């Protein structure tokens, strides 16, 4: 898989291509910084206002379960549409045409898994975290521990990739190209994130995500209409423009295979990625946690419906923006710009609306990183405090107050780890981390969620085999893959221990995760608990006994 493919699919805006970036010579960094500062100021005010109502654990972890479906759906879009969705996919379409478009489809279709199989049932049976559902009818402590570890790992991979990407984005958008300068920006992003989550809890985080989603989608919409207007609102003419700007061989932009069609291994890698994308989303802990912020399963359903529309429409915009950047900026200018593939969307903004539009789009890209890392942080904090501390260590004998206190400390610790990790990783090729997060979510989390919701016979042993088996196989396969060694774009280009040829482990680890869940279940002599399964099944479908929203304050 080429660097670009990894990049677009994987969430980091920065990583490989931005590493060598120099200060941007277009636009005015102060305009970008000014607009971003305005975003921070407005969201901080909102977060502080939201924080006045943070009293209970349900307030801190789940925003009091008082968000409406449309609000939560918008926040989900804000949580899900990372900088990669915007910068990475636009750039991938601009340079590789059709192949760039393919990712966005996997990212979107995946939401049907969440809509049909997971969202409502999860809302009806759980409280704060994914582990609530997984451990519902199984032995609490081992299953919770496993689910919490999977959650923390997924979140950590995702967070590190976002933070490392922030450094690259700075070089591209703000003209900061020194290592110290980039580290400072990573520290600022981390500190802001800690502040948002600490003060605002889930409520504050949700509002940041809602505002960011609106800005991102509105910005993309304006640019889309602008681009289309230049081609008389004729998509075919726009595609023709991109082909023409690409020069000889430009026709390949309209056909699949330009990027990953090189040989049978790269095709299998893509297949593996496609599988991980479509099954990973419904196992991402920060996505799952959002379903607890609404009062009922019906609102959880409305959230996903809204999220699907917003995310789908956004990806349609990126199709136009990608080809628009190819046509109006041209692949050569994009490749030569600092930031390479990631600079397609900002360069297009500059070509269309000059400094001001560039500033707006850059600020939106930053807001995107901030909102995504805030969502990840609160998920990790909930998982550590609610699952590991309260239920595994204290065996459930803990006051809600002290649970929330631990969660707040966890936020600080995770923030610091993210800053240090982000600074350490900023010149590393860590783009594979998000691919890994999706693969772990699909191989370790989704099988256990599906089995525990739908399979009566499923037991503790099956859950542990599935979670640990999926987790370990993903990590081992990625370590042995060309993303880590044996390739010039690898994390350790000098070494070569890449015995697994595919850049994404999903094709092996996802079926393995499901299989181990079945094998583990049948090998165990654990007595079934029909009464717990009855409770879970009845609750999941009817909503009886589901967690209620806290009273409006």
Partner 1 sequence: MTDLSKEGPPPGETEYQRVQRSDEFQGLRRAFRNFVFPMTALFLAWYFVYVLLANYAHDFMSIRLGDSNITVGLLFGLGQFVSTFAITMLYARWANKKFDARADALRREIEEGDL
**Using CB under 8 A as the criterion, which residues of the chain lie in contact with partner 1 when the complex forms?**
98, 101-102, 105-106, 108-109, 111-113, 115-117, 235-237, 239-240, 243, 254-257, 260-261, 267, 270-271, 274, 278, 298, 301-302, 304-305, 308-309, 312, 315-316, 530-531, 534-535, 537-539, 541-545
CA 79/CA 33 separation, integer angstroms: 22
Closest to 255 in 3D by CA, of 101, 105, 108: 101
CA 8/CA 513 separation, integer angstroms: 26
For partner 1, give the closer residue by CB, 156 or 314. 314
For partner 1, give the closer residue by CB, 181 or 543. 543
Residue 107: half-sphere exposure toward Cβ, Cα within 13 Å: 30
For partner 1, give the closer residue by CB, 26 or 305. 305
For partner 1, give the closer residue by CB, 267 or 399. 267
Q: Beta-carbon neighbour count of residue 497 at 10 Å? A: 12
Q: Is the dihedral of CA 188, 191, 195, 196 positive or negative?
A: positive
Length of the chain, please?
Answer: 553
**Taking the complex as a whole, how short is the minimal distance between the CB of residue 51 and partner 1, in angstroms?**
33
User: Is the Cβ–Cβ distance between 442 and 276 less than 8 Å?
Assistant: yes
User: Is the Cβ–Cβ distance between 280 and 446 less than 8 Å?
Assistant: yes
Task: Find all residues with CB under 8 Å of 188, minimum gap 6, and list them.
Answer: none
**Taking the complex as a whole, how short is the minimal distance between the CB of residue 277 and partner 1, in angstroms?**
10
For partner 1, give the closer residue by CB, 42 or 534. 534
**Taking the complex as a whole, how short is the minimal distance between the CB of residue 256 and partner 1, in angstroms?**
4
CA 29/CA 33 separation, integer angstroms: 6
User: Is the Cβ–Cβ distance between 8 and 95 less than 8 Å?
Assistant: no
**Taking the complex as a whole, how short is the minimal distance between the CB of residue 282 and partner 1, in angstroms?**
11
**Taking the complex as a whole, how short is the minimal distance between the CB of residue 534 and partner 1, in angstroms?**
4
CA 226/CA 79 separation, integer angstroms: 26
For partner 1, give the closer residue by CB, 315 or 384. 315
CA 341/CA 2 separation, integer angstroms: 12
CA 251/CA 218 separation, integer angstroms: 31
**Taking the complex as a whole, how short is the minimal distance between the CB of residue 327 and partner 1, in angstroms?**
11
DSSP string across 290-344:
HGGGSSSHHHHHHHHHHHHHHHHHHHHHHHHHHHHHHHHT-HHHHHHSTTGGGGH
What distances in angstroms separate CA 121 from CA 133, 283, 297, 331, 440, one per listed residue? 9, 14, 7, 46, 21
For partner 1, give the closer residue by CB, 237 or 401. 237
DSSP string across 27-46:
S-HHHHHHHHHHHHHHHHHH
Element (H, E) at 220: helix 179-230
For partner 1, give the closer residue by CB, 42 or 235. 235
**Taking the complex as a whole, how short is the minimal distance between the CB of residue 377 and partner 1, in angstroms?**
30
**Taking the complex as a whole, how short is the minimal distance between the CB of residue 391 and partner 1, in angstroms?**
22
**Taking the complex as a whole, how short is the minimal distance between the CB of residue 417 and partner 1, in angstroms?**
36
For partner 1, give the closer residue by CB, 19 or 313. 313
For partner 1, give the closer residue by CB, 309 or 522. 309
Q: With the CA atoms of 302, 303, 308 and 311 taken in that order, what torsion angle do they form, in degrees rounded to the nearest 10?
A: 150
């Amino acid at each position: 898989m080429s660097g670009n493919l990894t990049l677009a699919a994987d969430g980091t805006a920065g990583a490989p291509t931005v590493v060598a970036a120099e200060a941007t010579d277009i636009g005015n960094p102060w305009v970008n910084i000014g607009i971003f500062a305005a975003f921070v100021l407005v969201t901080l005010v909102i977060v502080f206002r939201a924080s006045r109502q943070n009293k209970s654990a349900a307030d801190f972890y789940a925003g009091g379960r008082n968000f409406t479906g449309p609000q939560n759906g918008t926040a989900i879009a804000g949580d899900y549409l990372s900088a990669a969705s915007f910068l990475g996919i636009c750039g991938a379409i601009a340079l590789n045409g059709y192949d760039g478009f393919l990712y966005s489809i996997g990212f979107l279709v995946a939401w049907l898994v969440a809509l049909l199989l997971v969202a409502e049932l999860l809302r009806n049976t759980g409280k704060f975290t994914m582990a609530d559902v997984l451990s519902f009818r199984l032995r609490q402590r081992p299953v919770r521990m496993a689910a919490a570890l999977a959650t923390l790992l997924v979140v950590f991979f995702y967070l590190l990739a976002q933070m490392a990407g922030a450094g690259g984005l700075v070089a591209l958008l703000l003209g900061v190209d020194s290592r110290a300068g980039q580290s400072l920006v990573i520290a600022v992003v981390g500190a802001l994130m800690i502040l948002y989550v600490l003060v605002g809890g889930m409520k504050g985080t949700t509002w940041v995500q809602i505002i960011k989603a609106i800005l991102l989608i509105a910005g993309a919409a304006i640019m889309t209409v602008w681009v289309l207007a230049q081609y008389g609102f004729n998509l075919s003419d726009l595609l023709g423009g991109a082909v023409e700007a690409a020069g000889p061989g430009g026709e390949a932009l309209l056909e699949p295979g330009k990027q990953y069609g090189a040989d049978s291994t790269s095709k299998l890698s893509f297949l593996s990625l496609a599988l991980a994308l479509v099954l990973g989303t419904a196992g991402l802990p920060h996505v799952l946690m959002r379903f607890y912020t609404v009062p009922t399963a019906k609102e959880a359903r409305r959230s996903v419906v809204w999220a699907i529309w917003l995310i789908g429409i956004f990806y349609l915009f990126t199709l136009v923006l990608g080809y628009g950047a190819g046509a109006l900026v041209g692949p050569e200018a994009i490749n030569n710009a600092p930031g390479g593939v990631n600079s397609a969307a900002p360069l297009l903004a500059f070509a269309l609306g000059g400094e001001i539009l560039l500033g707006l789009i850059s600020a939106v890209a930053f807001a995107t990183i901030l909102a995504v890392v805030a969502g990840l942080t609160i998920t990790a904090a909930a998982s550590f405090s609610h699952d590991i501390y309260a239920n595994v260590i204290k065996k459930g004998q803990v006051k809600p107050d002290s649970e929330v206190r631990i969660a707040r400390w966890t936020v600080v610790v995770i923030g610091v780890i993210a800053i240090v990790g982000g600074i350490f990783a900023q010149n590393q090729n860590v783009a594979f981390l998000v691919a890994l997060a999706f693969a772990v979510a699909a191989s370790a989390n989704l099988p256990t969620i599906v089995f525990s919701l739908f399979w009566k016979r499923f037991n503790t042993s099956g859950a542990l085999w599935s979670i640990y088996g999926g987790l370990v196989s993903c990590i081992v396969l990625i370590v042995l893959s060309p993303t880590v060694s044996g390739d010039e774009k690898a994390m350790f280009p000098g070494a070569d221990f890449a015995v697994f040829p595919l850049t994404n482990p999903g094709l092996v680890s996802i079926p393995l995760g499901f299989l181990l869940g079945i094998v583990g279940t049948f090998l165990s002599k654990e007595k079934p608990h029909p009464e717990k399964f009855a409770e879970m099944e009845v609750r999941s479908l009817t909503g009886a006994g589901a967690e209620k929203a806290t009273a409006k304050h």
